[in-house]
Amino acid sequence: MHIQSARLIFRITHAVSLKDKRSVCRSLLDRLRHKFNVSAAEVDSQDVHQKLVIGLSLVSNTAAHAQNCLDEIIRYAEETTEAELVEVEIW
């Protein structure tokens, strides 16, 4: 069993309120959970309206498969959201 986890930090330049941020956050989390069946949640900076920190994790039977899935998730998150991905931390 192999566990892969990551923290994705996004900048939402157009967000002027927490409501704007929550809209981006909910949309991204729902899409990640549905498309990839991963655990994902907002894990930090909940009160900062232009910063979104998403934590995610997945379990796989091989390390290579887990890493490939994580790479695909990161690429998908970066391409399909209006926020700018500024940092990725992988554990």
Query: Looking at the 3D structure of the chain, how many domains does it have?
Result: 1
**What kind and span of H or E run contains 89?**
strand 84-90
pLDDT of residue 91: 85
CATH of the domain at 83: 3.30.70.1120
Sheet containing strand 2-11, edge to edge, reads: 39-44, 51-60, 2-11, 84-90
Look at phi and psi of residue 37 and say left if phi exceeds 0, alpha if psi is from -120 to 50, else beta: left
Residues of the domain holding 38: 2-90
Nearest to 22 by CA among 3, 48, 2, 1: 48
Query: Do 31 and 23 touch, CB atoms closer than 8 A?
Result: no
**What are the pLDDT digits (tens) for 4-62?**
999 999 999 999 999 999 999 999 999 999 999 999 999 999 999 999 999 999 999 99
Between CA 9 and CA 23 the distance in angstroms is 16
CA 86, distance to chain mean position in Å, is 11
**pTM for the complete prediction?**
0.90
